[in-house]
């Protein structure tokens, strides 16, 4: 879980979360946790909190980027419509010779 969190591997974290959700209740049903199991569970909880915190930060960062993109959308569209879409002189000459449109 730490490696997946450190590398922002959201797919791996989702798979780990699914595995934990399925495994932990089954393990708890087997009887009381031993001291070593309780310590491992506490460490797992801490890792899970860290992963949740990192996912929240990444989500907020993505939301900010999307908001910025939305705010600049009109400018990007205007730029796209005015740059690079004019046919070159060679294309216009070829069109005149062949009778095609550029």
Residue range 19-47: mean pLDDT, rounded: 95
- Cα–Cα separations (whole angstroms), residue 34 to 12, 28, 41, 61: 28, 11, 10, 40
pTM (2 d.p.)? 0.65
For 86-96, letters b (16+ CB in 10 Å) and e give eeeeeeeeeee
| pLDDT digits 0-9 by tens, 47-90 | 999 999 999 999 999 999 999 989 888 888 888 888 765 545 54
Percent of the chain beyond pLDDT 90? 67
Return the ∠ at Cα 56 (arms to 53 and 57), rounded to 5°: 90
């Amino acid at each position: 879980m730490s490696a997946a969190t450190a590398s922002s591997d959201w797919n791996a974290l989702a798979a780990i979360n699914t595995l934990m959700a399925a495994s932990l209740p089954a393990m708890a049903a087997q009887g009381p946790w031993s001291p070593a199991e309780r310590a491992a569970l506490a460490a797992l909880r801490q890792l899970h909190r860290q992963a949740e915190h990192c996912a929240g930060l990444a989500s907020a960062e993505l939301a900010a980027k999307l908001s910025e993109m939305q705010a600049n959308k009109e400018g990007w569209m205007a730029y796209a419509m005015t740059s690079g879409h004019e046919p070159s002189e060679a294309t216009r000459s070829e069109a005149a010779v062949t009778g095609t449109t550029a």
